[in-house]
Amino acid sequence: MGVAHGEVKAEAPHMGGINEAGCGRGPRIGVYVCHCGLNIAATVDVARVRDAVAGLPGVVVARDNKYTCSEVGQKTIADDIKNLNLDRVVIASCSPRLHERTFRELMARSGLNPFLLEMANIREQCSWVHGHDREAATRKAVALTRAAIARAALLEPLERNVGSVTKSAMVIGGGVAGISAALYLANMGVKTYLVEREPSIGGHMAMLDKTFPTLDCSLCILSPKMVEVRENSNIELLSYTEVRKVEGQVGSFKVELLRKPRYIDEAKCVACGLCAEKCPSKAPDEFNRGYSERKAIYIPFPQAIPASYVIDPNYCRYFTRGGKCRVCEKICERGAVDFSQREEIVTLDVGAIVIATGFEPYDASRKTQYGYGRFPNVITSLDFERIICADGPTHGKLKRPSDWEIPRRIAFIQCVGSRDEHETDGAGKYCSRVCCMITAKQAFMVKEKYPDAEVYVYHTDMRTAGKGFEEFYQRGRSEGIVFVRGKPGEIVENPEDHSLRVVAEDADSGCILDLTFDMVVLAIGLRPPGGLVELAQKLNVSRSADGFLLEGHPKLRPAETSIEGIYLAGCAQFPKDIPDSVAQAGCAAAAAAGVLASDRIEMDPLNPVVDEELCIGCRLCEKLCPYGGIKVEKTDKGFKARVIELACKGCGVCGAACSARAIKMRHYSDEQIYAQTAALLEVG
């Protein structure tokens, strides 16, 4: 397998052999056209592409390989570089976004400058998209390969810029994924800043009562990890803090953070709770999803880390009544209350960043047909967690909100905000992956508490892929939970007793089920969290169509992003359950630690060069560059532009704007692009 396919045919240069005659002193290019198994070869006539370019000036050898990236394929190229004295390589294969690095490394190993490689994308942008037209696809592949050769002939060797590495990392988001990533990093000896925008870490996992399928108490397994975060000397926790701005690149990011005032001195507060006892102002408790109240001075939940109170200025009388009250200040023996705190900007230098910003539960009130927010006994799966939790508003008794009586008939409705083909009301098209198992767990918990309760689950289909999941679901069935394949169109409330009528067609039996329940639980989907768009823009990472962050490669770089040095953990990438979030956190931490382990980072040297003879010092480039990467300075020849190599990112905006044509873009020069265009347009 993987044997270099096309033979060297020295006697007939046009047939893809060695072509010594065609290249006097010019470049010596080797061209390798890849079959990629049948991925390319099924559509593109690879041999024809090889032959079409074999005789071109500068091309010393043209071959086709079954798999160019395989060891055999790479060896063929390495041997040719050595034996035929090649100085440039053109590979027509998959997207450079996949294998450019592979082949650049091969070049470097073979003693060639890696920037003398050019790839023609004849798979993603040819064979895979023109599968029905072999002739046109082959012609296009020829054009693309010729263009790559034309460009390769003009490529110049470049030396990589070398940057230093700040030996610390930042994890953004303190849910279970962020906590895990921070601990993994810290345990590898990396100084780690854990940034959380809420007053405590813990995320959504802290709000859950139990986890599926083991029915572990969620906080019992999470809170030791949270304590570990506090105790670990390599971790610095910055709670109630948001990311404002990010600059720099892998190895040396500069992150500007906004620390919101807690109005409590974290170091002094011992969380005795006296202040909250005396505080006269009440506010809805968001941790209990608004089903109970807290004070204006509060701790989000008893196990919160940092274990410090915080003052909510929206409810605190000091803020709402202009400096009055101050009861907490008077009562606190340790003098921890500090009304003089202000927002504070902190700037940190880190070498790598892990994004673990989690998700936001779907806003069920947008599905007006289900009446969430209007009918008190319609709750969401997250509300259910709080209502059944020992720490929750009912102290662990499952009760329905309208009269706080125990519900006897409970329905669950699946896919609320997920698998919505039309993505109406801010819902997602995708499956949120965890809701089926959350419902299986919750239904089971109802049965556990009240074995004679009647429990119905209305679903699209139950998805139970995971270790022990199917077994757990079957257990629920045998406990008498009724699973109905079919989603109700609406919920109608009886205003007298707040009972809920649910009508749905059971697709399995074809019967219409018309039932009345005491309580309905909506299994809400997971949505990208608020602020993710802005954060993605600050970090420059791409998002996928579902709104979550885009991974480096769906299979092979699941914890990386499009930006080197920035990694992903947990639901920031896509909805996933706790074990998957933790696993990805480990993966992200390992990748980040890998970068931090080296002392220097090599960066692509794509910055421009200024021809001082041509530069007229007009300052247009200076004005346009968003990085301060080019500055006009006084020299003995007058005002001339100068490139600040470490600030420049190589976008090419300056070069494209220079009317004196004094700025030459490295690796994307006008000449290179002209040559490419000309070759592209030459082939019919």
Partner 1 sequence: MKMNQEGEWEPKIVAFLCNWCSYAGADLAGTSRIQYPPNVRVIRVPCSGRVDPLLILKCLQRGADGVLVSGCHPGDCHYIAGNYLARRKFAMLKRLIEYLGVEEGRVQFSWVSAAEGEKFADVIKTVTRRVRELGPARKLVKVREMQGGAGASL
CA proximity to 417, closest of 430, 401, 406: 430
Is 57 a binder of partner 1 (CB under 8 A)? yes
Q: Are 169 and 192 in contact (CB under 8 A)?
A: yes
Is 150 a binder of partner 1 (CB under 8 A)? yes
Cβ distance to partner 1 smaller for residue 6 or 655: 655
Is 135 a binder of partner 1 (CB under 8 A)? yes
Is 540 a binder of partner 1 (CB under 8 A)? yes
Is 250 a binder of partner 1 (CB under 8 A)? no
Residue 387 region, left (φ>0) first, then alpha (ψ -120 to 50), else beta? alpha
Q: Find the binder of partner 1 among 60, 61, 147, 587 (CB under 8 A).
A: 147
Cβ distance to partner 1 smaller for residue 124 or 506: 124
Which residues in 584-623 contact partner 1 (CB under 8 A)? 606
Is 129 a binder of partner 1 (CB under 8 A)? yes
Q: Kindly indicate which of the ranges 136-144, 278-286, 344-352, 389-397 contains the residues binding partner 1, using the contact rule CB under 8 A.
A: 136-144
How many residues make contact with partner 1 (CB under 8 A)?
64
Q: Give least dist CB 236 to partner 1, A.
A: 29
Which residues in 89-118 contact partner 1 (CB under 8 A)? 95-97
CA proximity to 214, closest of 437, 411, 385: 437
Q: Are 112 and 85 in contact (CB under 8 A)?
A: no
Q: Find the binder of partner 1 among 35, 130, 433, 459 (CB under 8 A).
A: 130
Is 651 a binder of partner 1 (CB under 8 A)? yes
Is 144 a binder of partner 1 (CB under 8 A)? yes
Write out the E strands in 196-284: 210-211, 216-217, 235-238, 241-249, 252-259, 282-284
Is 125 a binder of partner 1 (CB under 8 A)? yes
Which 3 state secondary structure label does DSSP give 216?
A: strand
Distance CA 88, CA 169 (A): 38
Which 3 state secondary structure label does DSSP give 467?
A: coil
Cβ distance to partner 1 smaller for residue 284 or 628: 628
Omega before 306 within 30 of 0, i.e. cis: yes
Q: Give least dist CB 604 to partner 1, A.
A: 9
CA proximity to 73, closest of 37, 122, 20: 37
Q: Find the binder of partner 1 among 81, 112, 149, 413 (CB under 8 A).
A: 149
Q: Give least dist CB 143 to partner 1, A.
A: 6
Which two structure tokens, joined as six digits, stand for 111?
Answer: 């003693």
What binding mask, one character per residue, do residues 653-682 give for partner 1 by CB under 8 A, x or -? x-xxx-------x--x-x--xxxxxxxxxx
Is 467 a binder of partner 1 (CB under 8 A)? no
CA proximity to 191, closest of 175, 167, 156: 167
Is 24 a binder of partner 1 (CB under 8 A)? no
Is 652 a binder of partner 1 (CB under 8 A)? yes
Is 626 a binder of partner 1 (CB under 8 A)? yes
Q: Kindly indicate which of the ranges 55-63, 180-188, 302-310, 368-376 contains the residues binding partner 1, using the contact rule CB under 8 A.
A: 55-63
Amino acid code (one letter) for 492: V
Q: Give least dist CB 38 to partner 1, A.
A: 13
Omega before 213 within 30 of 0, i.e. cis: yes
Distances (CA, A) of 612 to 455, 628, 636, 642: 79, 19, 11, 9
Collect all residues with Cβ–Cβ distance below 8 Å to 428 and sequence separation of at least 6. 362, 417, 418, 419, 420, 525, 526, 527, 546, 547
Q: Kindly indicate which of the ranges 50-58, 172-180, 440-448, 581-589 contains the residues binding partner 1, using the contact rule CB under 8 A.
A: 50-58
- Apex CA 106: angle with CA 99 and CA 160, to 5°? 85
Distance CA 180, CA 174 (A): 9
Cβ distance to partner 1 smaller for residue 109 or 245: 245
Is 221 a binder of partner 1 (CB under 8 A)? no
Q: Are 40 and 123 in contact (CB under 8 A)?
A: yes
Is 123 a binder of partner 1 (CB under 8 A)? yes
Hunting for tokens 């089926």 — which residue is that? 436
Q: Give least dist CB 156 to partner 1, A.
A: 15
Binding site for partner 1 (CB under 8 A): 56-58, 95-97, 121, 123-126, 128-133, 135-137, 139-140, 143-144, 146-147, 149-150, 153-154, 537, 540, 542-545, 550, 562, 606, 624, 626-627, 649-653, 655-657, 665, 668, 670, 673-682, 684
